[in-house]
Amino acid sequence: MNEIGLTQVLIVSTILFFIGVYGFLTRRNMITMLMSIELILNSININFVAFNKYLYADKLDGTFFTIFIITIAAAEASVAIAIIIHLYRNLKSIDVDDADMMKF
């Protein structure tokens, strides 16, 4: 009956994106927030691959961008974990609500 088309893929990636946003805004644990960011990034990756496959099947640009994003996500994760470790050493906690010194 129905083939899986671009629309269905985009629906999946949109759901994934908003799960990530929701997790980023509601979770207090910084590691979980980092995981949520990964979800957001991966939803983007899916979009790139999907657009590449369905619209410009003869090109590879979208796939390349996906690989770049995965690389950058790895670097970003290492920086974020370094920040989290430093905060933990100072606050003895990885709850994001405890890290609220930067205010008025």
Partner 1 sequence: MSNYYIALIPLLPLATFVLLGLFGRKYLSGISGIIGTLSLLASTIISLVTAYNYFFITERVNGVFQPIIALKYTWLQFSANVSIDLGIMLDPISMMMIVVVTFVSLMVHIFSLGYMKGEERFATYYAFLSLFTFSMLGLVLSTNIFQIYMFWELVGVSSFLLIGYYFDKPSAVAASKKAFIVTRFADLGFLIGILILAYNAETLDFGILIERLTDATSPYLINSTASTLLGVSALTWGLVLVFLGGAGKSAMFPFHIWLPDAMEGPTPVSALIHAATMVVAGVFLVARLFPIFAFDVSALTVVTYVGVFSALFAAIIACTQTDIKRVLAYSTMSQIGYMMFSLGISHHGGENGLGYMASMFHLFTHAFFKSLLFLGAGAVIHLVHSNEMKDMGGLRKLMPITHITFLIACLAIAGIPPFAGFFSKEEILMAAFENNKLVYVVAVFTSGLTAFYMFRLYYSIFWSKQSHAHADHGEGTLTMKIPLIILGACALSVGFVPIASLVTSDGAALETHIDYIFSLTPVALAIAGILLATSLYKNENSKPQSIANGLGGFYTAAHKKFYMDELYLFITKNIIFNLIGKAAAWIDKTIVDGFMNLLADVTAEISNLIKGLQSGKLQHYAVYFFVGMIGFMLLFIYLWI
Residues in the site for partner 1, rule: CB under 8 A?
21, 24-26, 96-97, 99-104
CB of 41: closest distance to partner 1 in angstroms?
Answer: 15
CB of 21: closest distance to partner 1 in angstroms?
Answer: 6
Considering beta carbons, is residue 89 or 103 the nearer one to partner 1? 103
CB of 32: closest distance to partner 1 in angstroms?
Answer: 12
CB of 99: closest distance to partner 1 in angstroms?
Answer: 7
Instruction: Give the three-class secondary structure for 95.
Output: strand
Considering beta carbons, is residue 17 or 48 the nearer one to partner 1? 17
Considering beta carbons, is residue 3 or 97 the nearer one to partner 1? 97
Instruction: Give the three-class secondary structure for 79.
Output: helix
Distance set, CA 77 to CA 33, 50, 53, 56, 87 (Å): 11, 25, 28, 31, 15
Angle, alpha carbons 16-18-24 (nearest 5°): 105
Question: Burial level of 103, CB count in 10 A (0-12/13-18/19+)?
Answer: exposed
